[in-house]
C-alpha cells in the first residue's frame, strides 16, 4: 500500500466594504474591486437584482447603468441588470439557480468575470450557489439590501437552497470576492424585514459581545422607531462580529460540528419550515434565541436577570416570542419542534452542538438538551405572551 498524505491550503481574499451610495458614479469602491482578467482592459460583470428592491427604488436600474457607463474604461456590465424575484420562496426550488446558470452561460461569464447579486439574503443565497457551481466557481460579489443580510448572511461564506422540506439542504461554502454594505438600501424595506436583522444582532451580542448588547439596549427606542443611524450602528457591529468569527474562528467551512453563531437556530430553522415560511428567518431567530435563553436559565447556565434582559430587549424591539407552531405535533403525536433538534444535529454531522448564553456576551456549548425542559420553556413563552402588555420601556 502507498499513501500520500498532504494538506491543501487555499488563501481566500475577502473584502467587506462599508460604503453608502454604492452606485453613485463618484463612489469608486465597486469599480476598484472588479479586477479585469489578465490581458483584458475591462472586468466583465453580470448583475442580478432583487425585484422588490427594483420596484421600491424605480431609479435603481438607471443608476446602475450610469455607474457602469461612467466607469466603462475599467468595467463592463454585460447586460442590463437582470431583475429576479427575491424572498424565501425562491430558495424552495432550483428554478432560479437554473435561470442564473443560463445567464452565466449566455453572457460568457467565466471564472475571471463576476456575478454581482444585489438583494435580500434569499436571492444572495441562490446567486451565491449558482456562482459557486457554474464553471466550478465564478467570482461573486454580494450587495445585501436587507438588515438581516447586511448583519449576517451577506458577510458569510455559505450559500444554498432548501430541499426535502429542509433549510439550506443543498449548498456550498464559497466565500464571495467582495461584499458591500450600503445602509442606504434599507430605507425602502417593509418594517417586518427591517426588524428581522435585529434578531441576528441580538443573537451575536448575547454570545459574543456584552458591550454591543448594552449598546443595543441603549439604542432600542431608536431601533424600534427604525432610526437609520441606530440601524447603521447595529448592522456594522453585527457584520464585524460575524466576519470576525469566520476569519478568526478557526473553522470557516464548518468542518467540525461546532456552529457557535447558530444560537437559537435549531428552533428557527424548524419554525420556518413548520410555518411554511409564514414567519421569516428573523422572526424565527428571535423565538429561537428566546427559547434557548430561557432554557439556559432553567438548565442553570444563565442567571435569571440576564435571561429577562434578553427577552425584554427582543420584545421591546417588536418581536413576538411565541407562535403556535412551537406546540405543533406530528402524526405520531411528537412535538415537531423536537424533531428539529435531531435534524439540526444531522445537518451539522457528528455531535450535537448547541450554543447557549452563559452570561451576556459569553456562550457555552452543550451537547445534549433535555427535551422535557425544552417543552417547559415553550409553555413559559406561551404564558408570557398571553400575559404581556405592550412594552413602553426596557426598564
Ligand atoms: N448564507 C448564510 O450564511 C445565511 C445566514 C443567515 C440567513 N440566511 C438566509 O437569508 C434568508 C433571509 O434573508 P433576508 O432576511 O434578507 O430576507 P429576504 O431575502 O427574503 O428579503 C426579504 C424581502 O425583502 C425584499 N427586499 C430586499 N431588499 C429590499 C429593499 N432594499 N427594499 C425593499 N424590499 C427589499 C425581498 O425581495 C424579500 O421580499 C433566509 O433564507 C436565511 O436562511 C443565510
Ligand atoms: Zn440566521
Q: What is the pLDDT of residues 159-172, one digit of tens each?
A: 999 999 888 999 99
- Pick from 105, 161, 162, 106: nearest CA to 134: 105
171 Cβ closer than 6 Å to some ligand 1 atom:
no
* Segment 333-345 mean pLDDT: 90
CA dist 161 and 139 (Å) reads: 19
pLDDT at 309 over 90: yes
In this prediction, residue 392 carries a pLDDT of 66
Report whether residue 92 contacts ligand 1, using a CB cutoff of 6 Å.
no
| Nearest protein CA to atom 15 of ligand 1, as residue | 148
**C-alpha cell belonging to residue 88:** 424565501
Decide if 121 contacts 146 (C-beta within 8 A): yes
Let me know: does 183 contact 20? Beta carbons within 8 Å: yes
Q: Residue holding cell 451537547?
A: 367
Task: Pick the residue whose CA is nearest to atom 40 on ligand 1.
Answer: 122
Q: Which residue has the cell 427604525?
A: 226
2 pLDDT more than 90: yes
Q: Dmax over Cα atoms in the chain, in whole Å?
A: 72
150 CB under 6 A from ligand 1?
A: no
Rounded distance from Cα 190 to ligand 2 centre (Å): 19
* Residue (of 58, 71, 2) closest to 31 by Cα position: 71
Cα 271 to averaged position of ligand 1 atoms, centre (Å): 17
CB 116 within 8 A of CB 80: no
pTM over 0.85: yes
Asked whether 134 and 107 are in contact (CB, 8 A), the reply is no
**Ligand 1 atom closest to 200 (CA):** 6
Task: Of 25-34, 147-156, 308-317, give the lowest mean pLDDT range.
Answer: 147-156
For the cut 90, the answer to whether the pLDDT of residue 348 exceeds it is no
Tell which wins on pLDDT, 348 or 8.
8
Q: How far apart are CA 61 and CA 18, in angstroms?
A: 21
The secondary structure element, H or E, covering residue 297 is: helix 281-298
Q: How far apart are CA 249 and CA 247, in angstroms?
A: 6
Give the closest ligand to the alpha carbon of residue 153. 1
Q: Whose CA is nearest to atom 19 of ligand 1?
A: 120
- CB-based contact 360:207 (threshold 8 Å): no
What is the C-alpha to C-alpha distance for residues 112 and 265, in angstroms, rounded to an integer? 35
Q: Tell me if 356 sits within 8 A of 303, measured CB to CB.
A: no
Does 149 contact ligand 1 (Cβ within 6 A)? yes
Residue of minimum CA distance from atom 21 in ligand 1: 120
Any idea which ligand is nearest the CA of 147? 1
Ligand 1 center to residue 121 CA distance, Å? 3
CA of 302 to the centre of ligand 1 (A): 31
Average pLDDT over residues 380-385: 94
CA distances, 100 to each of 40, 118, 136, 200, 330 (Å): 24, 13, 14, 28, 37
| pLDDT category of residue 395 using cuts at 50, 70 and 90 | low
d(CA 162, CA 122): 10
Lowest-pLDDT choice from 67-71, 79-83, 252-256, 302-306: 252-256
Spatial separation of the C-alpha atoms in residues 221 and 314, rounded to whole Å: 12
* Alpha carbons 188 and 181: distance in angstroms, whole number: 15
Query: How much is the mean pLDDT over the chain?
Result: 94
153 CB near ligand 1 (under 6 Å): yes
Q: Is 220 left (phi over 0), alpha (psi -120 to 50) or beta?
A: alpha
Task: Determine whether the shortest distance from the Cβ of 88 to ligand 1 is under 6 A.
Answer: yes
Tell me if 162 CB under 6 Å of ligand 1: no
Q: Whose CA is nearest to atom 7 of ligand 1?
A: 153
pLDDT at position 256, please?
Answer: 65
Q: Give the angle 42-131-9 at the CA atoms, nearest 5°.
A: 90
Give 345's pLDDT tier (boundaries 50, 70, 90).
confident
Rounded CA-CA distance 179/290 in Å is 30
Q: How confident is the model at residue 235 (pLDDT cuts 50, 70, 90)?
A: very high
CA of 200 to the centre of ligand 2 (A): 6
Q: Looking at residue 77, what is its pLDDT?
A: 97
The gap from C-alpha 288 to its chain's centroid, in whole angstroms, comes to 15
Tell me the ligand closest to 203's alpha carbon. Answer: 2
Residue 281 in contact with ligand 1 by CB distance below 6 A: yes
Residue minimizing CA distance to atom 37 of ligand 1: 86
Distance 3 CA to ligand 2 centre (A): 41
**391 pLDDT exceeds 90?**
no
Give the span between the Cα atoms of 263 and 166, in whole angstroms.
Answer: 18
Q: Could you say which DSSP state residue 38 is in?
A: T
Q: How far is the CA of 2 from the centre of ligand 1 (A)?
A: 49
Amino acid at each position: 500500500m502507498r499513501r500520500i498524505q498532504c494538506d491543501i491550503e487555499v488563501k481566500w481574499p475577502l473584502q467587506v466594504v462599508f460604503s453608502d451610495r454604492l452606485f453613485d458614479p463618484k463612489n469608486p469602491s465597486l469599480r476598484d474591486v472588479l479586477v479585469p482578467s489578465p490581458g483584458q482592459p475591462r472586468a466583465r460583470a453580470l448583475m442580478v437584482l432583487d425585484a422588490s428592491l427594483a420596484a421600491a427604488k424605480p431609479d435603481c436600474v438607471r443608476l446602475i447603468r450610469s455607474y457602469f457607463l461612467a466607469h466603462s474604461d475599467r468595467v463592463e456590465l454585460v447586460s442590463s441588470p437582470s431583475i429576479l424575484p427575491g424572498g424565501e420562496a425562491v430558495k424552495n426550488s432550483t428554478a432560479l439557480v437554473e435561470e442564473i446558470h443560463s445567464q452565466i452561460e449566455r453572457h460568457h461569464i467565466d471564472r475571471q468575470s463576476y456575478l454581482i447579486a444585489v438583494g435580500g439574503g434569499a436571492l444572495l443565497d441562490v446567486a451565491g450557489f449558482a456562482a459557486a457551481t457554474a464553471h466550478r466557481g465564478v467570482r461573486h460579489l454580494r450587495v445585501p439590501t436587507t438588515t438581516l443580510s447586511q448583519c449576517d448572511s451577506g458577510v458569510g461564506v455559505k450559500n444554498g437552497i432548501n430541499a426535502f422540506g429542509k433549510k439550506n439542504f443543498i449548498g456550498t461554502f464559497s466565500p464571495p470576492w467582495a461584499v458591500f454594505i450600503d445602509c442606504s438600501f434599507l430605507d425602502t424595506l417593509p418594517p417586518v424585514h427591517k426588524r428581522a436583522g435585529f434578531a441576528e444582532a441580538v443573537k451575536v451580542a448575547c454570545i459574543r459581545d456584552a458591550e454591543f448588547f448594552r449598546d443595543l439596549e441603549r439604542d432600542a427606542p431608536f431601533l424600534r422607531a427604525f432610526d437609520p443611524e441606530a440601524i447603521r450602528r447595529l448592522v456594522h457591529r453585527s457584520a464585524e462580529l460575524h466576519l470576525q468569527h469566520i476569519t478568526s474562528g478557526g473553522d470557516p467551512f464548518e468542518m467540525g460540528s461546532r456552529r457557535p453563531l447558530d444560537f437559537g437556530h435549531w428552533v428557527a430553522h424548524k419554525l420556518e419550515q413548520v410555518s411554511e415560511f409564514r414567519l421569516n428567518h428573523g422572526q424565527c431567530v428571535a423565538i429561537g434565541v428566546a427559547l434557548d435563553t430561557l432554557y439556559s436559565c432553567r438548565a442553570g447556565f444563565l442567571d435569571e436577570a440576564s435571561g429577562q434582559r434578553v427577552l425584554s430587549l427582543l420584545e421591546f424591539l417588536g418581536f413576538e416570542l411565541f407562535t403556535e407552531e412551537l406546540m405543533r405535533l406530528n402524526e405520531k403525536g411528537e412535538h415537531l419542534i423536537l424533531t428539529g433538534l435531531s435534524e439540526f444535529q444531522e445537518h451539522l454531522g457528528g455531535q450535537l452542538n448547541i450554543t447557549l448564553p452563559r452570561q451576556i456576551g459569553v456562550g457555552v456549548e452543550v451537547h445534549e438538551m433535555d427535551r422535557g425542559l425544552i417543552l417547559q420553556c415553550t409553555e413559559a413563552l406561551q404564558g408570557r405572551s398571553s400575559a404581556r402588555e405592550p412594552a413602553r420601556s426596557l426598564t
